[in-house]
Amino acid sequence: MTAHPEEYNCECHWGSAEELALLKTPDVPLDGELLRRTYWTTDWDYPQELLRRILPQLTRGIVAGDVDPMMATTGPGVPFIRGDWQQWPAAQRDAVREFLDAWWRHVLVEPDAKVPAHEALEFLAEATATLTPWLATWADLLTDPVAQRRLVTAADEWIWDLVCDTHPWQSWHDEDTWCPALSQWVLRHVPVALREHDASARLHDDLRRLALPFDDRWDG
pLDDT number for residue 220:
57
Number of residues that this document lists for the chain:
220
Judgement on whether residues 60 and 157 belong to the same structural domain of the protein: no
Residue 200, C-beta contacts closer than 8 angstroms, at least 6 positions apart = 156
Judgement on whether residues 72 and 146 belong to the same structural domain of the protein: no
Q: How many domains does the chain have?
A: 2
Judgement on whether residues 188 and 126 belong to the same structural domain of the protein: yes
Judgement on whether residues 81 and 111 belong to the same structural domain of the protein: no
pLDDT number for residue 11:
87
Judgement on whether residues 80 and 109 belong to the same structural domain of the protein: no
Q: Which of 87, 116, 144 is the last residue of a domain?
A: 87
pLDDT number for residue 197:
76
Judgement on whether residues 52 and 141 belong to the same structural domain of the protein: no
Q: Which residues of the chain have pLDDT under 50?
A: none
pLDDT digits (tens, 9 = 90+) for 50-76: 999 999 999 999 999 998 887 777 777
Range of the domain at 76: 1-87
Give the whole-angstrom CA distance, residue 78 versus residue 42: 8
Please give the model's pTM, rounded to 2 decimal places.
0.90
pLDDT number for residue 160:
94
